[in-house]
Amino acid sequence: MIRIPPFRFPQLASVLLLSLSALVIGGCKPDAGTAPAPPASEKPPAEAADRDEHSYAEPDKVVTEDLALDLALDFDARTIAGTATYTLQWKDPAATELVLDTRALTIDKVEGEAGGQWQSLQYALADADATLGSKLTIQAPDRNARIRVTYTTSPDASGLQWLTPEMTEGKKLPFMFSQSQQIHARSWVPLQDTPAIRYTYSAHVTSRPDVMVLMSADNDPAAQRDGDYTFKMPQKIPSYLMAIAAGDLVFKPISERSGIWAEPATIDRAVAEFADTEKMIATTEQLYGPYRWERYDLLILPPSFPYGGMENPRLSFITPTVIVGDKSLVSLVAHELAHSWSGNLVTFASAKHGWLNEGFTSYVENRIVESVYGKETSDMEFVIARNALKESIVSMPEPVQALAVKPGTVLDADDALSAVAYDKGAWFLQFLEQRFGREPFDAFLRGYFDHFAFQSITTEQFLAYAKEHLFDKYPGTVTDAEIQEWVYGPGIPASAPQVMSRNFGIVDSARLAWLGSAQLPPRQITDAWSTQEWLHFLDSLPATLTHEQMAQLDGAYHFTGTGNGEIAMRWYPLAVRSGYSEANAALAEFTARVGRRKLIMPIYDALVQTESGLALAKEIFAKARPGYHPITTGSVEKVIAEAKPAPAAEPAAPAVDEAAPATH
């Protein structure tokens, strides 16, 4: 779903929604509790310029105010079954239909409450659209205040992953978790699956008694495993923040309001790695106002989690691949925490405005990193992300190079969540900070989060607020042409502020010296390098190296078999391109074990370029597939299916790299 720069979610060349056709189970034919209603249309209407075209919901007619779930988890059947009850606000006096989004759900019955009694309602489930799923249209002639849907999920629900004990860290109990963003909540709950609608929710969940169940709600750190759990989320959230997980999970605190949920085999390492979480919360509060979600806990998922993290409120889902023992990758936690202000508190109204979530969050993330770990660390992460953006943006279609597409432009949901949304968005906010000054800009952001708290907004609403509270307040500081270029224009504006990294200057000198002389830099230099410096070193190497160069680097720095996924995702593709087969065994083990798309898709992309590599990719995928998330499976299937390999050839000896990516 998300293609993210270093230290966040996956950065991928492919778009999730383009591969959903390989993931989605065909929907049911129209079925009804009584007589069938007329068939629902397959595509949402597009008459409104600001309509969320990735949802069938009609929020101008009726909205969900509260959702009550009563669910049963079945690990053997790999399904969730139960009821979803909606408390509704009918906005259009003429509206008599409730339209919900579903994907591969079996609808058993639909009822409306009238006079304290539940009565059957007519409904129709349309044929499945490969991207959007099936439109569920419920006839409610009495405009019922509450409607209840009884349903069962598919074993292959795109938003759920079911793991056998062997696929977990502890290998004792099964595991299940959800991933609702961008439009996967509809695969495990029928709902109005658009961020334009926010609602409170409660849930009663039953499961086998030996697993702990958690949700993006009020998880009790002292909760006991008994197979019967209740949850409440009193703050209104959009559907993509619905989350559930169940497994062999234990809790350890970091502070009074923050802690870690993880498998017993992982918990202690996770607590040590993320010990600075409370410092991060306090730092963000000082900058942008109080944390409004009561608790902030982390759930460490198995390695098959397809993303780096997911900002589910109160309970961020985190990949274990950032637990490397030195806190060098914990900016991912800073990113997910920052979403508690930008995204969860102030939410984009549709994917077209994705930068309002991710650009703001990436900016806030770097401010947290700067405060907790120092400006040089923050600068290094800025440089890495922006170098990746500059490299990737040139191959993007112009419409998706803009932060926000103009009204009326049709866009797939995840096209708006590329590195542009994250890093160009953060770059734009740094541009504003530089122009207006940090203190005035911090005050503006704090006011922005307060003003739009618990609302879903558009880019145009942000710009109107910024005009009143920032641009007009300091006239002449920026021009309208500059703002338009940043928000709606392609590429990186010439006004983009540049970031320098002193440490990267040393890395560049060492790399160029080695390429020219084959003399590795002194150990006293490289022994002090952080993960970020090693990433910059690898990112700046030529596309291929000789076998001798690869062996020299590997012998000195032991990249093959590294436990650091960020290094692995750079080293293994380089090894493939360079014909360094000594890395193949470790490459295969890593790619089969880890399901995080950001880390493994560059490896698959490199493998499928040759016939021998494609054969190895297929071999790895066959072994790994049972443990991959459906989202990861779809991405890998697409890369393999579209592969056009060339016959294997010895890589040419590279020239000295005299055109390395700039560090400024």
Q: Which two tokens stand for residue 283?
A: 């730092």
Residue 660 lies in a domain: no
134: buried, middle or exposed (CB in 10 Å: 19+, 13-18, 0-12)?
A: buried
CB contact set of 496 (below 8 Å; sequence gap of 6+)? 427, 431
Asked if residue 284 lies in contact with residue 338, where contact means CB atoms within 8 angstroms, the answer is yes
Strand partners, 297: 259, 315
547 and 578 assigned to the same domain: yes
| 601: CATH | 1.25.40.320
pLDDT score at 12: 30
Structural domains in the chain (count) = 3
> Cis omega (within 30 of 0) on the bond before 430?
no
DSSP structure string for 463-511: HHHHIIIIITTSTTSS-HHHHHHHHHSSS--TTPPP---HHHHHHHHHH
Residue 413 has pLDDT above 80, yes or no: no
Whether 422 sits among the annotated catalytic residues: the reply is: yes
| 53: CATH | 2.60.40.1730
Alpha-carbon Rg of the chain, whole angstroms? 25
562 and 535 assigned to the same domain: yes
Strand partners, 98: 138
pLDDT score at 321: 93
Residue 27 has pLDDT above 70, yes or no: no
Identify the sign of the CA torsion 647, 648, 654, 657: positive
Whether 336 sits among the annotated catalytic residues: the reply is: yes
Residue tagged 């409450």 (tokens): 113
Structure confidence at residue 663 as a pLDDT band (50, 70, 90) = very low
Asked if residue 597 lies in contact with residue 4, where contact means CB atoms within 8 angstroms, the answer is no
Q: Which two tokens stand for residue 440?
A: 């005035």
Q: What is the mean pLDDT of residues 197-212?
A: 98
Number of H helices, E strands in the chain: 19, 21
Rounded Cα gap, residues 140 and 150, in angstroms: 16
158 and 31 assigned to the same domain: yes
**Which among 173, 663, 129 is positioned nearest to 413, based on CA atoms?**
129
Residue 382 has pLDDT above 50, yes or no: yes
Residue 10 lies in a domain: no
Q: What is the dihedral of CA 143, 145, 150, 154, to 10 degrees?
A: 80
370: containing domain: 355-488
Planar angle of CA 321, 9, 241, nearest 5 degrees: 110
535 and 482 assigned to the same domain: no
Strand partners, 298: 260, 316
410 and 540 assigned to the same domain: no
Dihedral-angle region of residue 638 (phi above 0 means left; psi in -120 to 50 means alpha; beta otherwise): alpha
**Which among 386, 237, 372 is positioned nearest to 311, based on CA atoms?**
237
pLDDT score at 411: 64
Query: What is the pLDDT of the chain when averaged over all its residues?
Result: 89
514 and 476 assigned to the same domain: no
114 and 235 assigned to the same domain: yes
Residue 345 lies in a domain: no
Distances in Å between the Cα of 130 and the Cα atoms of 17, 27, 39, 390 are 9, 9, 17, 32
Rounded Cα gap, residues 22 and 106, in angstroms: 19
User: Residues 199, 422, 604, 628: which is the catalytic one?
Assistant: 422
209 and 73 assigned to the same domain: yes
Rounded Cα gap, residues 342 and 424, in angstroms: 16
Structure confidence at residue 201 as a pLDDT band (50, 70, 90) = very high
Residue 92 lies in a domain: yes
Collapsing DSSP to helix, strand or coil, 610 comes out as: strand
Q: Which of 44-48, 204-208, 634-638 has the highest mean pLDDT?
A: 204-208
User: Residues 58, 169, 336, 533: which is the catalytic one?
Assistant: 336
Rounded Cα gap, residues 5 and 47, in angstroms: 35
Distances in Å between the Cα of 628 and the Cα atoms of 18, 167, 273, 320, 402 are 18, 9, 25, 15, 32
DSSP assigned state of 127: P
Residue 36 has pLDDT above 80, yes or no: no
Percent of the chain with pLDDT over 70: 88
CB contact set of 227 (below 8 Å; sequence gap of 6+)? 206, 207, 208, 209, 210, 211
587 and 450 assigned to the same domain: no
317 and 383 assigned to the same domain: no
CB contact set of 220 (below 8 Å; sequence gap of 6+)? none
Q: List, for residues 460-497, the tens digit of each pLDDT value.
A: 999 999 999 999 999 999 999 999 999 999 999 999 99
Rounded Cα gap, residues 513 and 516, in angstroms: 5
Q: What is the dihedral of CA 196, 202, 207, 210, to 10 degrees?
A: 110
Residue 164 has pLDDT above 70, yes or no: yes
Q: What is the mean pLDDT of residues 544-566?
A: 96
Residue 187 lies in a domain: yes
pLDDT score at 122: 98
328 and 365 assigned to the same domain: no
Structure confidence at residue 661 as a pLDDT band (50, 70, 90) = very low
Strand partners, 63: 89
Other beta carbons within 10 angstroms of residue 101's beta carbon come to 26
Residue 89 lies in a domain: yes
143 and 283 assigned to the same domain: yes
pTM to 2 decimals?
0.87
Last residue of a domain, one of 337, 372, 396: 337
Q: What is the mean pLDDT of residues 125-139?
A: 96
